[in-house]
Amino acid sequence: MHSPVKLVKSMWSDLKGSRELAWRLFVRDVSARYRQSYLGIFWAFVPALLSGLVFIVLNAKGVVNFGKVDIPYPVFAIIGTTLWQLFSESINAPLKAVTSGKAMLAKINFPREALILSAVYEVLFGFTIKLVLIVVVMLFFKVPFGPGLLLSLPAALALVFLGIALGMFLTPIGMLYGDVGSALTVLIQLWFFVTPVVYPPPQLFPYSLVATLNPVSPLLVGTRELMTKGTMTDLPLFMAICVCTLIGLIVAWFMYRVTMPIIIERMSS
């Protein structure tokens, strides 16, 4: 039985040792994806842009009333859907990466963290591209830039880490049961509507309680506020969710390390 100190050192050592392989896997996957695509990186914009446009049109036509926001609604919606896409890609990334690396896992002994780290690289690469869309929309609607835009980048990492932690929790089960991937798709779609992505955080009970208990809400709302206003309405709640996310990420990482050898053995038998 390893002591906690030795276990942490082993986990950290494997993480550092997996960086080069993770980078090569990331470059391979991104190159293959965009080499085979006619429109290339344009597809990185499409989901967030189309989702945002749908709600912008519905709001403009009066079909739905999302309430008053402090910035032009198109900026509010596009930033919200972009951040939501960042989270949804993060939660899907671990299972997707491990599934695509199934053949490697069965034949080659390497740090399993490489697959997760390559997935994180891919998510961050996609978000970097999507930032161009956010900047263009803010410029078009004359929303002033400030230091908050830079501060929002590390804040957005909290969304990535939350998604990766949840994704790692689900990966071992998803490797055994294909229904997990399908169920996750449905769950994310439902989760979208109870998160203040395209509408301001509700103030009336019990809807306000739902938004508060939803861990994505403070992270997404806080990041959007930093981008557009340079301040955050509820910093203590944001920091509390960040601490819980960090703890959850470490626990998920430990479970991933413990369960993957068992999963690989079952896949090889």
Q: Whole-angstrom Cα distance, residue 89 to residue 119?
A: 9
Q: At what angle do helices 73-100 and 46-60 cross, to 10 degrees?
A: 150
Give per-residue pLDDT as tens, 189-212: 999 988 999 888 887 777 778 877
Spatial contact of 184 and 170, defined as CB atoms under 8 Å apart = yes
Q: What is the pTM of this model?
A: 0.89
Q: Whole-angstrom Cα distance, residue 253 to residue 112?
A: 10
- What percentage of the chain has pLDDT greater than the value 70? 92
Q: Whole-angstrom Cα distance, residue 258 to residue 72?
A: 48
Give per-residue pLDDT as tens, 222-235: 999 999 988 888 89
Give per-residue pLDDT as tens, 114-171: 889 999 999 998 888 888 888 888 999 988 887 888 889 899 999 999 999 999 999 9
Q: Residue 59: in which H helix or E strand, if any?
A: helix 46-60
Residue 38: strand, helix, or coil: coil
Residue 1 has pLDDT above 60, yes or no: no
Give per-residue pLDDT as tens, 87-117: 999 999 999 888 887 777 777 777 788 889 9
The C-alpha angle 47, 99, 248, rounded to 5 degrees, equals 75
Q: Say which amino acid occupies 22.
A: A
Spatial contact of 90 and 160, defined as CB atoms under 8 Å apart = yes
Q: Whole-angstrom Cα distance, residue 247 to residue 217?
A: 18
Mean pLDDT for 41-63 is: 76
Residue 2 has pLDDT above 60, yes or no: no
Question: For residue 142, which phi and psi values (nearest 5 degrees)?
Answer: 60, 40
Q: At what angle do helices 216-229 and 235-268 cross, to 10 degrees?
A: 130
Spatial contact of 94 and 184, defined as CB atoms under 8 Å apart = no
Spatial contact of 242 and 165, defined as CB atoms under 8 Å apart = no
pLDDT given at position 46 = 72
Query: What tokens does 118 get?
Result: 């390559």
